[in-house]
A and B are shown apart, each in its own frame.
Chain A
Amino acid sequence: MARISYRKAVNQALDQEMTRDASVILMGIDVGGGSGGSGDVGSVGGVMGVTKGLYPKYGPNRVIDTPISESAIIGAAAGAAVTGMRPVAELMFVDFIGVCLDQIYNQAAKFRYMFGGKARTPLVIRTMGGAGMRAGAQHSQNLHPILTMIPGLKVVMPSNPYDAKGLLIRAIRDDDPVVFLESKALYDMKGEVPEEAYEIPFGEANFLRDGGDATIVAFGAMVPRAMQAADRLAKDGIRVTVIDPRTTSPLDEEAILDSVDETGRLVVVDESPPRCSLAADVAALVASQAFDALKAPVGMVTCPHTPVPFAPNLEDAYMPSAEKIEAAVRKTL
């Protein structure tokens, strides 16, 4: 099996699905790049190079460079989706969701319900989130809690290359609108990824490690940090289970509840401010449905209730770290 990057895994999924199904199109700012310019058109492939090579292969009708008009990008993708295409719209940074949220939550996410079950909206919004790149308060957020609370929307947070490919293929084939939240911190992460197309179902958590002392639930870029914490704890003989739900909506509640049933201790790691976070959501799930199993209060490792700061030392302090996760687990023991 080839070892490829998270970036390449996303690219491969797009490429294979575009080859398989002519109704799959890409649209977004600079997804080709260079349109109207005097040099190479289509050579950029997005600010992170994720869609590189697709414009030369599929052309301007299927890899559509758009103006900087997020409401129209997402709205047009939703309109194309509900009328028969399978658009993958790129929202360059998830922070820009503020510009186009109406088209997502009042429009695409509600079509099926409001239209009495008659609509299908196979829309994928690929976007990226997360801090750590010194990109400042408007280019570093995750915002998955805002998306997860929207009925009608599915939300995916891949934490490694294998999952990125399989979950994106699943997202493109799904008949509901999906936000596919890539982690910019993980684009260079490498892992084994099969060449052929495969799907990973939504709502099925991945168990990265089994251990009876405590359960760590982590999302997206927090999964590798949770694994680091698990390694450090293992040195002291503390064995933890690490669960990556992979999708926040639907959420694999059973996997979390079953694990807490066995370990009795839970730490949730979420790169997000604490209020109304996924950490709070999972903590509430366990408190309401597995209270008797708990041997200690649920630990929540989140960011503080602040915007993302620019200064590197402040941004590092803002993030959940392996040290903070380790300390939170020890506190439950």
Chain B
Amino acid sequence: MQLSRDELKRAYTSMYAIRAFEERVEKEFADGTIPGFAHVYLGQEASGVGVCFDLTDEDQIGSTHRGHGHCIAKGCEIEGMFLEIMGRDGGICGGKGGSMHIADMDKGMLGANAIVGGSPPIAVGAALTQKLRGTDRVAVAFSGDGASNQGTTLEAMNMAVILKVPMIFVFENNGYGEFTASEYSVGAPSLSDRAAAFGMPAQCVDGGDFFAVHAAMREALAHVRAGKGPYTLETRCSRFLGHFVGDPQKYRSPEELAQARANDPIQRFRDKVTTAALLDISELDEIEQQIRARVEAAAAAARAAPMPALETLETDVYVTY
């Protein structure tokens, strides 16, 4: 299906926002302004944006430890995200969550997740809510290739099938779970093959190609919205950096590392839309400039922001107690 010029701009804005945000995270982390760990989404932008492109704030997603890209693709504000991952007052979660726990209930973002395999069962429940309420909303669980081996993920897949909930399992296969290759850790020929064995349709697409992911997602959405039960998408992605910012990656050969950026989703999008004369280079460049300025301002504001008030340590453990 052909996207309009505005839609193409929206897609590029979202993908480039992830790129610029994550590059900034890399730099801020090196400068010591981001505490803890940072797992960035560089190289996987087309996957998150292609999946979330047709979702609304009422559709729910469950994410992973590598969640910044999913947040941005789902519409979270980067200002609140920077504040959050720097642990500042005004962060999306008040500075109490951090990079691995960014959640935004208003945007249908049920949280990054620091427990590998944490999100799929939660997404089954979110999809169950939609089914019981009779809406045409859906839930999406993002998982990595590594998370595909977690029992919770496999249990969620089976349960989603038998309950016929409107849910899409998205496996972003970037070839590694931490330092272990999926080649070693996944016994089945592919993750999409596994999904088929659970009794749901599955597709494996090029996760570096926004258009391929988006087209597959439209088919998935049509399937689940028709009440036919869950669907699986495997997106084959490239992880540009290591598992976390600063990972020396000795477990990847120099040749593989040199190749890691060859499948650059941003460049491929640019090439495609300019070759087909859908958007001008100047339009794309303008989007980039606007985003760079916004990211710069958001990061600077977050760095200057105060820490959360100490009283908040003990608030929001319960609704009532």
Contacts and interface: CB of A to CB of B under 8 A. Distances in A.
A83 interface: no
A36 B96 contact: no
Closest 8 CB pairs of A and B: A36-B184, A34-B251, A36-B181, A310-B98, A134-B35, A311-B87, A134-B36, A67-B149
B314 A136 contact: no
Interface string B157-185: 00000000000000000001111111111
B199 interface: no
Interface of B: 35-37, 87-88, 93, 95-101, 113-118, 146-147, 149-152, 176-186, 249-253, 255-256, 307-308, 310, 312-314, 317
9 contacts: A36-B184, A37-B180, A43-B251, A44-B179, A68-B116, A99-B117, A305-B314, A310-B101, A311-B87
Interface stretch (A106-114, A163-171, A284-292, A312-320): A312-320
Interface string A93-115: 00110110000000000000000
Interface of A: 29-30, 33-41, 43-44, 47, 65-72, 95-96, 98-99, 133-139, 304-307, 309-314, 317-318
A134 B34 CA distance: 9
B141 to A, nearest CB: 15
Given A36-B181, A37-B179, A312 B256 contact: no
A137 B256 CA distance: 35
Contacts of B99: 136
Contact of A30 (B93, B115, B180, B310): B180
A135 B39 CA distance: 12
A33 B179 contact: yes
B177 A68 contact: yes
A309 B96 contact: yes
Contacts of A305: 314, 317
B308 A314 contact: yes
B197 to A, nearest CB: 17
B151 A30 contact: no
Contact of B185 (A36, A41, A44, A307): A36
A103 B102 CA distance: 30
A315 to B, nearest CB: 8
B35 A39 contact: no
B273 to A, nearest CB: 33
Nearest to A47: B178
Contacts of B179: 30, 33-34, 37, 44
